[in-house]
Amino acid sequence: AILSDLRLNDGVQLALKGQIHKSILSQDNQAFNVVIQAIRDENESIVGALAILTDITESEKLEQLRRDYVANVLPHRPPDTL
């Protein structure tokens, strides 16, 4: 599963050092935008990490359709139809 991806653990470790981790993880025909950052207390000490995973599967599929269309259809259209 996506939650067992080692890159998530690496991102949490970076967040616990004060860095923000951003990536896109893809697995089993699903894609997730990942942002992980530190949680700080009132003294600005790092007390944990927050990971937000947003399912971007559908938008990635639509983007791939657009790229395929541009690559395969547009080059074969007569110039006066663009």
Work out the pLDDT band at 41, boundaries 50, 70, 90: very high
- Write the CA distances from 9 to 23, 40, 44, 66, 76, integer angstroms: 12, 19, 22, 33, 46
The whole-number average pLDDT for the span 33-50 is 97
Across the chain, mean pLDDT equals 87
pTM assigned to the model: 0.71
- Token pair, residue 53, equals 């995973």
